[in-house]
Structure 1
Amino acid sequence: MKKHILTWLIKKGLLQKRQAELNTIEEAASLCIVVSLGTSESVDRFLKFARQAMVINKNVQFVVYLKHKKIQWVAEGIKAILIKPKDISFWGKLKAEISNILPAQPQAVLINIDATGSLVCHYLVHLIPANFRIGIDEKSLHQPVYDLRLRSDNQDDYARVFEEIVNYLRSLKGK
């Protein structure tokens, strides 16, 4: 039931009109990366990637959905908003304390680097205002949530996917 409610909320949000503005990752005044992590190994891989992403753009913020309450998150120096299953109600609403800490100002670039197809990540992308949204191609959503959707053979390697995104944006900007 929660899946249907989240899908409905995402589709409802698609009716809002917005103008996409393309920036490269290096030029972006703000960058937000959304991901869903389900294992301790995926957390370790993601933290390694997060440190690399912070070298490219210092104004990066991470929104991390931890699928299981037993997953440990220890990350010094990484600006991240952690969301757990208990933070989302049956009706798909985020708890007020989580909603209040999500970025309110439009992000120059928002990337859903999640390869699992998590509806929660798509919903979070819908909630965070952004000038340009990038996501991994997800066949379950038939509506265009993103301005740029990519397919990647390296979906478990966050650094490689991010590198592909950086290169695509440079190509689109002609740099």
Structure 2
Amino acid sequence: MNSNREKITNIVMVGVFAAVLAVLSQISFPLPSGIPVTLQTFAVALCGYALGCKRGTLAVLVYIVLGAVGLPVFANFSGGFGSLVGLAGGYIYGFLPMAALCGLGTKMPHRVLAIVLGVAGLAACHLCGTIQFGIISGNGPWAAFLVASVPYLVKDIVSVAAAYGVATALSFALKKSGIHIAA
């Protein structure tokens, strides 16, 4: 009985966090670069920190698949495969290593190490995004980094740290109510 309840809880939590990511993706402010400022990085880090490496990455993958098949879950209610190959597409698939590294951070004995792993995941996300942005826009690596990554770094680092705090509080509250979600 317990294993069925755990399976159901896992499925529900993956779905809930994919939905949270979809909702927070819509809080978006456009910039001239074509890459909006969103709460996606906060939501991706929250998926990893709250659900752990495997389930957090799965929640992000569900979000990406939903968007790839056309549901308007990406920033500015966009969706479709074209979003993945557009200017900001590299960031979208860069969310996968970010969620995984944030999830690995849940295994760290100290919160600083957990946040450092989250920032490493953020770096992987920005690397994927910057490379694709540079290729599509025709900018060189340095110019692409200055346009598509630098303006977002402070907000994204703060988002990772905030997501860790929210995930910790959420995990504590759910444990108190008898639901254990961390991996």
Q: Same fold (TM over 0.5)?
A: no
Give the structure with the higher percent helix. Answer: 2
Give the structure with the higher percent strand. Answer: 1
TM-score (normalizing by structure 1): 0.29
Larger RCO: Structure 1 or Structure 2 (Cα < 8 Å, ≥ 6 residues apart)? Answer: 1
